[in-house]
Structure 1
């Protein structure tokens, strides 16, 4: 995957002091429609934060623009059941799987950026955590998009669905609901699905893709742990029982039903308690 030309990457040094605010810049990245440029911008944004070039305003609300998330014209977004399934024993079938995973990671970049800019009055560590998630999701996307290109395809060559972002829209008014249902439900499903996908790719002798999934699973455990941490923080702050609260939110927002098989060890490593998994009927 070729790097974007320099003029496409915002230069922190050229921004005024007022413009060097983390949440505003996260929104700028979210609005970016070029997938490659978005990934590079997010990496630049986290680097600038770590180098102390940015400030954080966690009090002022930002008006939500209509143009989010920025996304390229392709892939075509269709209902989940309309995404064409291809046999894994074909080159195109394996490419379609890599494409689907790249699309998940692209959406995950947007979800993390949205968590940064949208919600006010959270501790600084919350914004730092989700900026880290955004940068790691950008890395995952780049790995998968690069690998897809070695197979003779590009991100956008296959259709995709938009379920992840739809749940983000449903939970846009409450950070508690967002923490409960995006990292702890949608992203946690990735912990369950990744081992089987990795095995299929390894069986097809696509060892490079299998190694990418090893990286993704390692990092996603950390991302789900971040969701668990902030969900627990918010439940404690609002004096809510986490297990009861999660069940009510899952019902209220019609979260996807959890389906076996489950990666119990990864879920425990990501901070779910045995009691929570029992309540979710995960064993």
Structure 2
């Protein structure tokens, strides 16, 4: 039995705080959601607040399907649009919603003989007080597991209103590093991507995917720290979207490294060669917010939507149900990441007076991408995220001319597109 289901917008109408983690309080005649930032309360039925503000609420009904007897929830769609689609369905399983991080990885990989004092999640000296300060600290955190722990902590502080501010309007906001820090062992294992190409067993595949997720954590924090101060009018919803993205990527990293450890205890994350190709695109787009959104979130991440189903199917055919569950969670989250990229690309186009955001996207790809935007395309999931065919069909990047000394490298994996293609294309092989 359902006591009552309410549907209300997830952004506070006061300053745009994320309300998805708001406290719910029962009053004498109503149930209210209390914003974690400034404690504004909103009636979940009417949206009214004692402050005079009003949040959008929607009619919701639960009806039993006559064919299968399953209760289904129907929600009134917002005005001013049509053809609404479900973009995100959050998992119920705590294991997948918030998996525990693996053991601190550096000690495992380096096989230290002397005990090392672990660095605390919150630094003892000069602890961050703003979201931007946390972003820069996380980017400068070499240990991947500590990076995950700090990401979770920072997002929790942000969502519960325990930070002094976002910090992007401050003239003294810290600058992010040109390249995120990595443990010495990981740096030594960073190789030419071509050398990763032909290693095809499933442990290597999981290791390669975890490496992508580690860079993805950094990319989510970097876009906030690098471009937030340049766009002081960015609304809180932007930071809500990208802190969620950072948290998702941390979850993906934990799921993949835990799965890797279960499959191959002798080869934990960091013990195999890795590559840093994804950060090449970050470097190319480091001076343009619009370009960063286009290349990283609407090309790289959208490519993930294309290749993930094939990877999932190969694991399914091999009988690896646990990895299939992990990859399905990752794929569902990635749809929301491309959605966020599309939302904020459209926003920045409007801010800069660009009316045709499709052509603006295609121009950014022509300038900041090398070669074709490859198919086959997952048209359905791309459209869920807002990317219709006109964005990407027949699109080719014209960035730079490859120097002769890199022509041989080009035959290998010179960026994450090819790594993703390789991961999707190789058969799933099991060590016996």
TM-score by length of 1: 0.89
Aligned to 2:216: 108
Name the CA distance, whole Å, in 2 between partners of 1:125 and 1:255.
32
Task: Sort the Cα spacing of 1:65 and 1:264 in 2 relative to 1 into closer, same or farther, 3 A.
Answer: closer
2:343 counterpart residue number: 229
Q: Deviation per CA, 1:182-230, whole angstroms, max 9, x where unpaired?
A: 0001111111110111111112221111110000000000001000000
What's the counterpart of residue 95 of structure 1? 203
Closer/same/farther in 2, CA of residues 222 and 9 from structure 1, 3 Å limit: farther
SS at match of 1:8: coil
For residues 95-154 of structure 1, the C-alpha deviation after alignment (integer angstroms, 9 at most, x for no partner) is 000111101111100100101111122222112211110011000000000110011221
Equivalent position of 1:56 in the other structure: 166
Match runs of 1:121-270 below 5 Å: 121=231, 122-152=234-264, 153-240=267-354, 241-255=356-370, 257-270=372-385
Does structure 2 conserve the Cα–Cα contact (< 8 Å) formed by 1:98 and 1:148? Answer: yes
Instruction: Return closer, same or farther for 1:66/1:116 CA change in 2, 3 Å cut-off.
Output: closer
Q: 1:40 and 2:149 equivalent? A: yes
C-alpha distance in structure 2 between counterparts of 1:67 and 1:177, whole Å: 17
In 1, the alpha carbon distance for the partners of 2:117 and 2:131 equals 21
Q: Please identify runs of 4+ aligned residues in structure 1 that moved more than 4 A.
A: 3-7, 277-281
Q: For residues 223 and 175 of structure 1, what CA distance do their matches in structure 2 show?
A: 16
Distance in 1, matches of 2:337 and 2:371, equals: 19
Distance of aligned partners of 1:168 and 1:67 in 2 relative to their CA distance in 1, 3 Å threshold: closer
Equivalence for 2:122: 11
Aligned-partner Cα distance in 1 for 2:302–2:239: 20
Q: Which has the higher strand share?
A: 2
Cα distance change, pair 263–29 in 1 and its aligned pair in 2 (3 A): same
Q: For residues 390 and 177 of structure 2, what CA distance do their matches in structure 1 show?
A: 40
What is the RMSD of the two structures over their aligned residues, measured on CA atoms? Answer: 2.3
1:145–1:155 CA contact under 8 A, matched in 2: yes
| Greater Cα shift, 175-184 or 70-79 | 70-79
**Which of 105, 111, 130 is matched with 1:21 structurally?**
130
How far off its partner does 1:238 sit?
1.3
Question: Which residue does the alignment assign to 1:81?
Answer: 194
Mind listing any 5+ residue stretches in structure 1 that lack a counterpart?
A: 88-92
Counterparts of 1:41 and 1:201, CA distance in 2: 31
Are the aligned partners of 1:9 and 1:40 in contact in 2 as well (CA < 8 Å)?
no
Q: State the alpha-carbon separation in 1 of the partners of residues 373 and 136 from structure 2.
A: 31
Contact between 2:211 and 2:274, CA under 8 Å: does it hold in 1?
Answer: yes
Please state whether the residue corresponding to 2:304 is helix, strand or coil. Answer: helix
The number of equivalent residue pairs is 274
What displacement does 1:256 show?
5.3
Name the CA distance, whole Å, in 1 between partners of 2:136 and 2:215: 14
Larger RCO, structure (CA 8 Å, separation 6 or more): 1
Gaps of 5+ in 2: 1-101, 106-115, 397-432
Q: Which residue of 1 aligns with 2:390?
A: 275
Deviation at 1:158, TM superposition (A): 1.8
Higher mean alpha-carbon deviation, 25-34 vs 154-163, is at 154-163
Q: CA deviation at 1:63?
A: 5.0
Aligned twin of 1:90: none
Deviation at 1:266, TM superposition (A): 0.8
Q: Alpha carbons of 1:180 and 1:275: their partners in 2 closer, same or farther (altered >3 Å)?
A: same
Show CA shifts across 1:42-76 (max 9, x none).
01110111111111122236453557302223262
